[in-house]
């Protein structure tokens, strides 16, 4: 969690500075003050460790939190966007059932980025895979290429989006790891919402972070690790 | 060209003559069509131009207004470059500037009546863009509402 | 009462044909307008009015577009045999083949472009180029193909340029192989999907393109001959229909190999059972639509003794085209309907269709758009054939 504290600290510093600058001329008093003037760097790689043992069957809190945070309708028809979904899996031979949240796995080698003709799908230096909706032409090739079915296409015109989460008709979208919150030093909404603390979010590259330490000590897997995409989301107890 | 050699070879038979006539008349027809289209387009342009000239200067709700991040005249001309540059910085590098951001424009310029830069004909973005006949491509994805107001409304 | 002279008769029929020509143009234009209306509706309401969804992301428009693009490459086979291998009867047909190729490419690309979520941004695809993307390569391949074939046509139709026909023909010959390979690669690179991700796809698409292109060529050629009150010399018909037959057999062989190799990979067996046996609509379409209608019927029509006349070949070509559409429907939509295996070996369920066969009900708008692509190809061909000379001119038949 260290890195988060650091992020918070620097965020506080910048915002205080900004507030000071803003108040001085008395002009920007109303400013939203969310500044962050440095580019993200590859020293950080954001990831998650999801403890499926803790994830309760039938609990949908992460999904609800995601929908609220990002302004998704929460509809379940095949044309509705679902950035995160709960999957129930059952071992056919052993009969063991597990429930887990599935979303964009923020691959290190993301096929969606490889296939995107315009470079709209891209990976940020800190490992977050995003769609630049200014460039997306809506060809849906990335949806064909993603092995986790993580992406949705916006089938209808949208209105009254969250000012922090622009989304619109005719473009493809997926879990952003709540990039707008991360840039403010906060955690993704799902991680915060989970009542059982099953979603641990942090910097995989920092050996002293809680997530890195836990990955060293407990057995965790990446879904479809055979594809060699090295996702940033890991699962424990699969 | 094949066409010419073909014609000159068979130019003596009556059928070929008729075919030749048909070809020529076809070409005339095509040229006529092209002309009709051109005239239509030109009249359209003239009509719309005179219509635009007649419109009275628009009213503009500048919201809270106040000191802008740059000189207003400069902004009128260049705001799109600023926005576009910042959009790439923010989306790809995570640089979230305090001042130069669409959200900040909206914060100051959303109407004090409905907290929006796009809701009405005289809203800040709409009025000007309509006058200049430039399509805005921002608000299909971005919210046109002042964030503080949006948060207040959605907290309920 | 005077008996009309032969030239008067000719003139009357010419007038009739003039009228028919404009009628055909109007019909084609109408279909295009209908397609544009569909595009407008999709712009207005979003893709919600199409049958496509988050599970079946590519639908009917892609079936039409890929058919047109693959056939556009295949039809050039006729030109290649003429220019590269110097066969006279094919040489006489090379201009028509080139024209058809451009027309179909234009139709297919238009459909592909208008189906985008943001067709207004197509310029972005040209200015922002991701070199790792097969899609982006294909954009280059398609535009290159356009220009190459245009140059090729020019070298053939402008007598002073004739010396360049052969090198241009070679360039087109090579380019079209790469182009169809590129089309195959679009699917071959989708390694996570059981239906695609096979190295068999590029060669399979190349062979399929031969058969589909040849079939389209036959259809158009026969129509042009009928229009001009001429009959194709039986010896030429004989050779060309045999070639079509051989291509059909070869494409069947490739499709069979693709499915056999899939059966060999443990993770694809489930998909093969689905598409060939258990998948309801899809196996039915595959066996009846593709194998029987698209392959068996044409082969019988071509090779059965006593058949193989102009009409038979025409019907056979039409059947090959229909079979091609059915094949692409099964390949594209059936391939997406089969659930992605995210947790191999587990039973999976979720609110997002995991572990379930996805359903797809194509909407009228999608068909309108698809047919508009065909209509674009049709109009380009009809107008060009009328104003320029694309009619094959055969010298007295010499066996070469
Ligand atoms: S999970 Fe899918 S959408 Fe996310 S990075 Fe990987 S390939 Fe891209
Ligand atoms: S839909 Fe958008 S993000 Fe996805 S591949 Fe196409 S252009 Fe790229």
pLDDT digits (tens, 9 = 90+) for C210-257: 999 999 999 999 998 888 888 888 888 888 889 999 999 999 999 999
The pTM is what?
A: 0.85
Specify whether A200 is located in the same domain as A167: yes
Specify whether A57 is located in the same domain as A29: no
For residue C11, give the nearest of B18, B23, B30 by CB distance.
Answer: B18
Measured from the Cα of A141, ligand 2's closest atom is 5
Per-residue pLDDT of chain B (156 residues; tens, 9 = 90+): 344 444 444 444 555 545 555 555 656 666 767 777 777 777 776 666 555 554 556 778 888 888 888 998 999 999 999 999 999 999 999 998 878 889 999 999 999 999 999 998 889 999 989 998 999 989 999 999 999 999 988 876
Specify whether C346 is located in the same domain as C200: yes
Specify whether C227 is located in the same domain as C331: yes
pLDDT digits (tens, 9 = 90+) for A57-90: 989 999 999 999 999 999 999 999 999 999 999 9
- Span C309-337, mean pLDDT? 94
Specify whether B96 is located in the same domain as B32: no
User: pLDDT at position C398, please?
Assistant: 52
**R_g (Cα) of chain C, nearest Å:** 22
Q: Would residue C229 count as lying in a domain?
A: yes
Residues of B in contact with C157 (CB under 8 A): 1-2
User: pLDDT at position C333, please?
Assistant: 96
Q: Would residue C17 count as lying in a domain?
A: no
Specify whether B77 is located in the same domain as B46: no
What residue in A sits closest to B109 (Cα-Cα)?
Answer: A30
- A117: domain CATH number is 3.30.70.20
Domain that holds residue C300: 190-359
- For residue A152 and ligand 1, the question of a CB distance below 6 A is answered with no
Low-confidence ranges of chain A (pLDDT < 50): 1-6, 8-9, 11-13, 15-33
Specify whether B44 is located in the same domain as B87: no
Specify whether B20 is located in the same domain as B87: no
Specify whether A102 is located in the same domain as A210: yes
pLDDT digits (tens, 9 = 90+) for C259-295: 999 988 888 899 999 999 998 899 999 999 999 999 9
- Span C90-111, mean pLDDT? 93
Q: Would residue C172 count as lying in a domain?
A: no
- Span C84-92, mean pLDDT? 82
Contacts of C21 (CB under 8 A, 6+ apart): C382, C386
Mutate to test the interface with B, among C6, C9, C11 (most CBs of B within 10 A): C11
Measure the CA–CA gap between C367 and C42, rounded to whole angstroms: 13
User: pLDDT at position B23, please?
Assistant: 56
Specify whether A118 is located in the same domain as A21: no
Q: Would residue B28 count as lying in a domain?
A: yes
Specify whether A181 is located in the same domain as A232: yes
Specify whether C64 is located in the same domain as C116: yes
For residue C128, give the nearest of A77, A118, A145 by CB distance.
Answer: A118
For residue C18, give the nearest of B1, B6, B22 by CB distance.
Answer: B22
Mutate to test the interface with C, among A62, A64, A78, A122 (most CBs of C within 10 A): A78
Q: Kindly report the length of chain A.
A: 238
Residue A27 and residue B65 in contact, taking contact as beta carbons nearer than 8 Å: no
Specify whether B99 is located in the same domain as B147: yes
C57 contact A CB<8A: yes
Specify whether A83 is located in the same domain as A170: yes
Q: Would residue C203 count as lying in a domain?
A: yes
Q: Kindly report the length of chain B.
A: 156
Measure the CA–CA gap between C330 and C342, rounded to whole angstroms: 22
Specify whether C48 is located in the same domain as C27: yes
Mutate to test the interface with C, among B7, B14, B141 (most CBs of C within 10 A): B14
Hey, which of B9-23, C301-315, C349-363 has the most confident mean pLDDT?
C349-363
Question: Backbone phi, then psi, for A97, in 5-degree steps?
Answer: -110, 140
Number of domains in chain A: 2
Specify whether A29 is located in the same domain as A93: no
- For residue A148 and ligand 1, the question of a CB distance below 6 A is answered with yes
Mutate to test the interface with A, among C55, C62, C109, C117 (most CBs of A within 10 A): C117
The CA A128 to ligand 2 mean position distance, Å, reads 16
CA dihedral C385, C390, C395, C400 (to 10 degrees): -130
What residue in B sits closest to A38 (Cα-Cα)?
Answer: B95
Mean residue pLDDT of chain A comes to: 87
Specify whether C198 is located in the same domain as C344: yes
Alpha helices (H) along chain A: 2-23, 61-70, 111-115, 141-145, 179-182, 189-193, 210-217
- Span C351-356, mean pLDDT? 92
User: pLDDT at position A94, please?
Assistant: 79
What's CA A203's distance to the chain center, in Å? 13
- Span C344-358, mean pLDDT? 91
Specify whether B76 is located in the same domain as B143: yes
Measure the CA–CA gap between C57 and A153, rounded to whole angstroms: 8
Using beta carbons and an 8 Å cutoff, which residues of A are at the interface with B? 18, 22, 25, 27-28, 30-40, 122, 124-126, 130, 132-134, 157-158, 160-164, 166-169, 171, 179, 183
User: pLDDT at position B48, please?
Assistant: 62
Specify whether C194 is located in the same domain as C323: yes
Q: Kindly report the length of chain C.
A: 400
pLDDT band at C395 (very low <50, low <70, confident <90, very high): low
Q: Whose CA is nearest to atom 2 of ligand 2?
A: A136
Specify whether A102 is located in the same domain as A188: yes
Measure the CA–CA gap between A132 and A120, rounded to whole angstroms: 5
Q: Would residue C349 count as lying in a domain?
A: yes
- For residue A105 and ligand 1, the question of a CB distance below 6 A is answered with yes
Specify whether B76 is located in the same domain as B48: no
Question: Backbone phi, then psi, for A198, in 5-degree steps?
Answer: -80, -15
SS3 A231: strand
Start-to-end CA distance of chain A, whole Å, equals: 24
Q: Please, which residues bridge with residue A97 across strands?
A: A90
Specify whether C349 is located in the same domain as C203: yes
The CA A112 to ligand 2 mean position distance, Å, reads 8
- B38 compared with C145, residue with greater pLDDT: C145
B67 contact C CB<8A: no
What residue in C sits closest to B135 (Cα-Cα)?
Answer: C120
Specify whether C306 is located in the same domain as C353: yes
Question: Backbone phi, then psi, for C357, in 5-degree steps?
Answer: -70, 125
Q: What ipTM was estimated for this complex?
A: 0.89
Residue C105 and residue C374 in contact, taking contact as beta carbons nearer than 8 Å: no
Mean residue pLDDT of chain C comes to: 90
Q: Would residue C233 count as lying in a domain?
A: yes
Specify whether B43 is located in the same domain as B115: no
The two structure tokens encoding residue C175: 């380019």
Specify whether C254 is located in the same domain as C335: yes
User: pLDDT at position B153, please?
Assistant: 87
The two structure tokens encoding residue B116: 């929006």
| CA nearest neighbour of C243 among C369, C85, C393 | C85
CA dihedral B22, B25, B26, B28 (to 10 degrees): 170
For residue B15, give the nearest of C7, C157, C386 by CB distance.
Answer: C7
Specify whether B85 is located in the same domain as B132: yes
Measured from the Cα of A145, ligand 1's closest atom is 7
Domain that holds residue A181: 46-236
Residues of C in contact with B14 (CB under 8 A): 7, 10
| CA nearest neighbour of C60 among C287, C314, C363, C376 | C363
Q: Would residue B140 count as lying in a domain?
A: yes
The CA A11 to ligand 2 mean position distance, Å, reads 32
DSSP sequence for C297-315:
HHHHHHHSTT--SHHHHHH
- Asked whether the predicted pLDDT for residue C129 surpasses 70, the reply is yes
Specify whether C278 is located in the same domain as C300: yes
Mutate to test the pocket of ligand 2, among A139, A167, A176 (most ligand atoms within 8 A of CB): A139
Measure the CA–CA gap between A194 and A56, rounded to whole angstroms: 10
The CA A147 to ligand 1 mean position distance, Å, reads 7
CB contact under 8 A, C14 and B19: yes
Residues of C in contact with B15 (CB under 8 A): 7, 10
Q: Would residue C163 count as lying in a domain?
A: no
Residue C138 and residue C183 in contact, taking contact as beta carbons nearer than 8 Å: yes
Specify whether C238 is located in the same domain as C215: yes
Specify whether C326 is located in the same domain as C366: no
The CA C349 to ligand 1 mean position distance, Å, reads 20
The two structure tokens encoding residue A131: 């769609």
For residue A39, give the nearest of B95, B106, B142 by CB distance.
Answer: B95
Domain that holds residue B84: 72-153
CB contact under 8 A, B103 and A40: no
Q: Would residue B60 count as lying in a domain?
A: no
pLDDT band at C304 (very low <50, low <70, confident <90, very high): confident
Measured from the Cα of A106, ligand 1's closest atom is 5
B73 contact C CB<8A: no
- Chain C neighbours (≥3 Cβ pairs under 8 A) are A, B
Specify whether A23 is located in the same domain as A55: no
Mutate to test the pocket of ligand 1, among A130, A142, A148 (most ligand atoms within 8 A of CB): A148
User: pLDDT at position C396, please?
Assistant: 59
CB contact under 8 A, B18 and C386: no
For residue A170, give the nearest of C118, C346, C348 by CB distance.
Answer: C118
SS3 C355: coil
What residue in C sits closest to A74 (Cα-Cα)?
Answer: C351
Hey, which of B15-29, C139-153, C155-169 has the most confident mean pLDDT?
C139-153
Specify whether B41 is located in the same domain as B77: no
Residue list, ligand 2 pocket, CB within 6 Å? A 115-118, 120-121, 131, 136-142, 172
Residues of B in contact with A163 (CB under 8 A): 103, 106, 142-143, 145, 147, 150
- Chain B neighbours (≥3 Cβ pairs under 8 A) are A, C
Q: Would residue C167 count as lying in a domain?
A: no
Number of domains in chain B: 2
For residue A39, give the nearest of B87, B93, B148 by CB distance.
Answer: B93
Number of domains in chain C: 2
């Amino acid at each position: 969690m260290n890195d988060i504290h650091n992020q918070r600290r620097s965020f506080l510093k910048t915002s205080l500075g900004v507030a000071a600058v803003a108040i001085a001329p008395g002009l920007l008093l109303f400013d939203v003050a969310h500044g962050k003037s440095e580019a993200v760097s590859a020293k950080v790689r954001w990831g998650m460790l999801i403890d499926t043992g803790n994830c309760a069957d039938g609990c949908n809190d992460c999904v609800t939190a995601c929908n609220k945070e990002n302004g998704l309708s929460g509809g379940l028809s095949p044309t509705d966007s679902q950035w995160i979904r709960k999957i129930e899996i059952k071992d056919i031979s052993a009969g063991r059932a597990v429930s887990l949240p599935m979303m964009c796995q923020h691959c290190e080698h993301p096929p969606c980025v490889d296939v995107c003709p315009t470079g709209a799908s891209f990976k940020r230096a800190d490992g977050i895979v995003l769609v630049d909706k200014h460039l997306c032409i809506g060809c849906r090739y990335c949806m064909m290429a993603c092995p986790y079915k993580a992406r949705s296409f916006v089938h209808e015109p949208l209105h009254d989006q969250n000012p922090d989460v622009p989304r619109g008709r005719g473009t493809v979208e997926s879990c952003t790891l709540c990039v707008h919150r991360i840039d403010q030093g906060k955690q993704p909404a799902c991680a915060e919402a989970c009542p059982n603390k099953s979603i641990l979010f942090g910097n995989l590259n920092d050996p002293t972070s809680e997530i890195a330490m836990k990955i060293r000590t407990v057995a965790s897997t990446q879904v479809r690790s055979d594809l060699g995409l090295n996702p940033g989301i890991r699962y424990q107890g699969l | 060209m094949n066409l010419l050699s073909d014609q000159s070879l068979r130019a003596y038979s009556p059928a070929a003559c008729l075919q030749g006539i048909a070809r020529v008349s076809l070409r005339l027809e095509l040229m006529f069509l092209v002309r009709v289209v051109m005239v239509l387009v030109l009249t359209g342009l003239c009509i719309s131009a005179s219509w635009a000239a007649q419109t009275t200067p628009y009213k503009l709700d500048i919201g809270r207004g106040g000191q802008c991040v740059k000189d207003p005249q400069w902004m009128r001309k260049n705001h799109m470059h600023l926005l576009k540059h910042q959009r790439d910085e923010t989306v790809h590098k995570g640089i979230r500037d305090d001042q130069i951001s669409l959200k900040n424009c909206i914060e100051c310029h959303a109407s004090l009546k409905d907290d929006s830069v796009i809701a009405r004909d005289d809203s800040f973005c709409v009025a000007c863009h309509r006058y200049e006949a430039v399509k805005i491509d921002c608000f299909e994805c971005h919210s046109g509402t002042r964030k503080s107001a949006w948060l207040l409304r959605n907290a309920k | 009462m005077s008996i009309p002279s032969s030239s008067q008769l000719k003139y009357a029929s010419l007038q009739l044909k003039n009228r028919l020509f404009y009628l055909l143009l109007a019909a084609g234009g109408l279909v295009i307008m209908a397609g544009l209306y569909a595009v407008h509706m999709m712009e207005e309401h979003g893709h919600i009015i199409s049958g496509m969804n988050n599970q079946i992301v590519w639908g009917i428009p892609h079936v039409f577009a890929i058919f047109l693009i693959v056939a556009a490459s295949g039809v050039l086979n006729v030109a290649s045999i003429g220019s590269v291998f110097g066969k006279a009867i094919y040489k006489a047909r090379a201009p028509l083949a080139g024209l058809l190729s451009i027309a179909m490419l234009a139709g297919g690309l238009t459909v592909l472009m208008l189906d985008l979520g943001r067709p207004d941004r197509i310029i972005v695809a040209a200015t922002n180029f991701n070199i790792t993307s097969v899609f982006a390569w294909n954009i280059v391949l398609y535009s290159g193909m356009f220009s190459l074939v245009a140059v090729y046509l020019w070298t053939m139709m402008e007598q002073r340029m004739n010396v360049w026909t052969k090198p241009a023909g070679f360039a087109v010959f090579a380019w079209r192989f790469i182009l169809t390979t590129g089309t195959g690669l679009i699917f071959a690179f989708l390694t996570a999907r059981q239906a695609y991700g096979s190295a068999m796809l590029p060669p399979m698409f190349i062979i399929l393109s031969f058969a589909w292109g040849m079939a389209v060529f036959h259809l158009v050629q026969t129509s042009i001959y009928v229009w001009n009150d001429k009959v194709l010399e039986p010896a030429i018909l004989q050779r060309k229909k045999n070639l079509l037959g051989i291509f059909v057999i070869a494409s069947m062989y490739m499709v069979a190999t693709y499915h056999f190799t899939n059966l060999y990979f443990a993770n694809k067996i489930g998909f093969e059972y689905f598409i060939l046996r258990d998948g309801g609509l899809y196996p039915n379409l595959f066996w009846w639509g593709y194998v029987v209608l698209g392959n068996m019927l044409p082969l019988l029509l071509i090779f059965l003794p006593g058949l193989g006349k102009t009409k038979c070949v025409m019907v056979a070509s039409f059947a090959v085209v229909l079979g091609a559409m059915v094949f692409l429907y099964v390949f594209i939509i059936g391939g997406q309907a089969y659930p992605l295996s995210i947790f191999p070996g587990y039973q999976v369920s979720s609110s997002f269709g995991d572990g379930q066969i996805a359903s797809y009900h194509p909407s009228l708008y999608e068909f309108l758009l698809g047919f508009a692509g065909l209509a674009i190809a049709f109009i380009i061909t009809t107008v060009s054939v009328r104003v320029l000379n694309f009619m094959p001119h055969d010298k007295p038949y010499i066996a070469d």
